[in-house]
Amino acid sequence: MRDDLSEQYRRWLEADEQGNDAEADASFERLFDACLPAPLPSARFTETTMAAIGAAAVADAARAKRLRRVLLWSGVPLGALALYFGAGALLWTFSTGIVAALDFLVAMVVWFANGHDIQSTVWTVLTGLGRAALAFAADSRVTVAILIFQVVAVAALAALHRLLGPEREWLK
């Protein structure tokens, strides 16, 4: 701060000695502004402002206390209602998960215990599929429908052969 004042003072003197009045006036104004302290607010203004801040802090604290009290006394019954109505779904979900986990555990134990029977299980499934296919084909309606489809297919093949002509391009 002192260096700045000294620099401003030196500039003012140099400008004044050289006769440069505009520069001297500007330097003197900067020097004068640097020498005077910034005006402080009055004691009355500071006192009033601090009292207003204190009153606002007390009002905010009282409002927060009221809000906490209201939320506590309204939140407890609402929480109890939510627990009452949500407990069934929560217990159902929890018990369903436990039963599913136990069922999976039992299935894994049985699967590992019967590991050598997996191949026979595959053949049993394929045998069942074959029996179902034969039972389906043994039905007279199915057999007649299959024969009709075969006749239509042969007729369509003959019609296409006639439309395309007797050329044998595949031999060329």
Q: Which residues of 48-68 are buried (b: 16+ CB within 10 A; e: fewer)?
A: eeeeeeeeeeeeeeeeeeeee
Q: Is residue 40 part of a domain?
A: no
In a domain, 58, yes or no: no
Q: What is the pLDDT along the chain (172 residues), one digit of tens a residue?
A: 456 778 878 888 888 888 888 888 888 888 887 787 777 778 888 899 999 999 999 999 999 999 999 988 888 888 888 888 888 888 888 889 999 999 999 988 887 777 666 666 777 888 888 888 888 778 888 878 888 999 999 999 999 888 887 666 555 5
Determine the straight-line distance between the first and last CA of the chain, rounded to whole angstroms. 108
User: Is 161 within a domain?
Assistant: yes
Number of structural domains in the chain: 1
User: What is the pLDDT at residue 57?
Assistant: 93
pLDDT at 86: 87
DSSP state letter for 85: H
Cα separations in angstroms, 85 against 17, 37, 97, 156: 94, 70, 20, 68
CA distance 152 to 160: 12
Q: Which residue has the tokens 């500071």?
A: 46
Domain span including residue 132: 114-172
Domain contains 141: yes
The predicted pLDDT at position 7 comes to 82
Q: Under a CB-based contact definition with an 8 Å cutoff, are residues 23 and 15 in contact?
A: yes
Give the pLDDT confidence score for residue 156 in this predicted structure.
94
* pLDDT in the model for residue 63: 95
pTM of the predicted structure, to 2 decimals: 0.31
Q: Is 13 exposed, middle or buried (0-12, 13-18, 19+ CB in 10 A)?
A: middle
Distance CA 94, CA 88 (A): 10
Domain-located, residue 33: no
pLDDT given at position 87: 87
> Does the CA dihedral 149-152-157-160 come out positive or negative?
negative
> Would 125 be classed as within a structural domain?
yes
